[in-house]
Chains A and B, each alone.
Chain A
Amino acid sequence: MSEAQAQPNHIKRATVLWAILTALALLVYVVIAPQLSSWGVLPKLGSKRLDEVNTVLWLFTLLAIPVFTLVVVYAGYAVFTFRSRGRPSGDGPSMPGDRRIQRIWIISTILLAAFLFGYGLYFLGEVQAAPTGNVLQINVTGEQWLWNYTYPKYNISSTELYLPVNQAVTFDITSLDVQHSFWIPSFGIKQDAVPGEHVKISVTPSELGDYVVRCAELCGLYHAYMETPVHVVTATEFETWEQGQQSIQVTPQAFAGPTLLAAVTNTTRRRASVASGSVGAA
């Protein structure tokens, strides 16, 4: 038996191993991917934009799995199979390049990267396209440690974000103090809020429900609490909310009127009762 016949075909072995592991990994991923939102790994779906983002994530991950397993399997196979037993006494055998493998590797890599690049550019253009038609503008102001929303069309302000479902919205985002980041995970949007800068980002909420907006830029002591509700409601509910907010206007002026509460009008000096561990009327 010649030496060549005694040696197993390592390429063939590793390739079979790669194919099996890739198939298993793809199967597992295809099964669990749709569950990621319900498990809380991915945010709850609130807009078509997030759906598109998730599609890109799904596709890119799917294409990355064979590449990942290829690297892991071939590297692992080589490390395990050709490991040295004891201290090596000299250099290993020379390993001439295989042009066929090199061509396959380079061409397939170029094709894959070109596809991802092209698809990514196309997707970026889709999600960044300015909405047309009836667009609701909302001015977003970040401040340590809350978000303010002003609806110029209705001349109202709020710290809670109310949005009518299936209505395109453009956020004009800025900050009053330090850098924040306006992030609504369920809508698939995240945009830095920079003092002195106004940056716009658009989205169309497509699912009724309650979501959150978070600050995604470490901005100080209570950064972790810079999280406020987002309510996607029907057009009628939005109108009701908007009319309710009209009664709270930013018009700094004083007016005379009855004292707030007759039961507690005695606002003369009440010194805190510290010794008793309480604060209040002493």
Chain B
Amino acid sequence: MKKSIGAILSVALGVAVVVGTLLALGNLARAQPAGHAQNAGQTYSDQGTQINHAHLTLQTFPFSPYTDPEWVAKHVTGKTDNGIPFPAAGDNQGWVLYWPTTTLVVPAHSLVTIDIENYDSATPLLNPYYSVPRGVVNNSVAVDGQETASVSPENVSHTFTIHSIPNANQPWLFVSVPITGVPPDCASDPTLKPPDCVGYDAATMPDQPTVTEFSFYTGDPGTYIWQCFDPCGANYNGFGGPMSTKGYMSGTITVQ
């Protein structure tokens, strides 16, 4: 009888430890708030039917912008000590990241336009495949308003690549665009003149971002993975750190 009670208590204790550990880990994992694309009116699909148009703006930074007082003073009004979902203190604020969230939501059966304001410099692509926009309207992107069908792999800073796994429950979606890097600091090389260089602040944040704009059509609802394919992280040939941690250079995009 004692043996049976001991065995039952051991199993119960084991289950409690596992459940407790999972709950503790769950509490530690701070979920980012979802970024919903905003309604941008109506437009026409490539088949000529009227569809919704949604718009989303993301930013990429070489490090958390909230660690740069000059950037905060220039771009943030009101409180800076709250309402900052990510990255919070202790969340690797020195890592390159997409901001303000990597959890994106866009409408189904719509045209989605995304602006990505990039404050990071170029990191040459390992794979030139990602220097060409794919799966987007006109197979092109607009870089600071200038439409282009490709970007030199040397000038790419990041990529925004949506992909899914073959799944009977959702359509295949593949969108990949190169994000052009910000030119170097004019102060770093006196021979450089704008627009081949730009101003940087004391924290090495560029004064102005490079803006990449692109559009793509969504189909039926589904949840997809997106990530950067440029080796912009740490270690492992640039694929470690923020490139291998959720919430920095990768995330999900839900079509709903």
Contacts and interface: CB of A to CB of B under 8 A. Distances in A.
Contact of B147 (A177, A259, A269): A259
Contact of B57 (A143, A160, A225, A270): A270
A275 B78 CA distance: 11
A28 interface: no
Interface string B115-128: 10100000000111
A222 B225 CA distance: 9
A178 B41 CA distance: 44
A271 interface: yes
A265 B55 CA distance: 11
Interface stretch (B89-97, B183-191, B208-216): B208-216
Nearest to B143: A254
A267 B115 contact: yes
Interface in B57-72: 57-59
A113 to B, nearest CB: 40
Interface in A237-281: 247-261, 263-265, 267, 269-272, 274-275, 277-281
Contacts of B104: 279
A229 B34 contact: no
Majority SS of interface residues in chain A? loop
A206 to B, nearest CB: 20
- For B38, B144, B172, B231, the residue with the greatest tally of chain A CB atoms inside 10 Å of its CB is B38
Nearest to A141: B127
Contact of A221 (B57, B85, B237, B246): B246
A176 interface: yes
A159 interface: yes
A251 B227 contact: no
A220 interface: yes
Interface in B213-249: 213-215, 225, 227, 229, 231, 236-237, 239, 243-246
Contacts of B246: 221
Q: Which size class do A's interface residues fall under? A: 35 or more
A252 B36 contact: no
B110 interface: no
Contacts of B126: 143, 176-177
Interface string B165-205: 11000001010100000000000000000000000000000
Interface in A135-193: 141, 143-146, 148, 157, 159-160, 176-178
Contact of A222 (B132, B138, B250): B250
Contacts of A254: 143, 146, 148-151
Given A178-B236, A281-B38, A252 B229 contact: no
A146 B229 contact: yes
B113 A261 contact: yes
Contacts, number: 177
A54 interface: no
Interface residues of B, number: 75
A252 B140 contact: no
A255 B59 contact: no
Nearest to B138: A260
Given A141-B127, A280-B57, A270 B137 contact: no
Given A212-B166, A260-B147, A272 B138 contact: no
A234 interface: no
Contacts of B142: 259-260, 265, 267
B33 A277 contact: yes
Given A254-B151, A255-B148, A264 B40 contact: yes
Nearest to A214: B165
Nearest to B212: A267
A254 B152 CA distance: 8
A76 B18 CA distance: 37
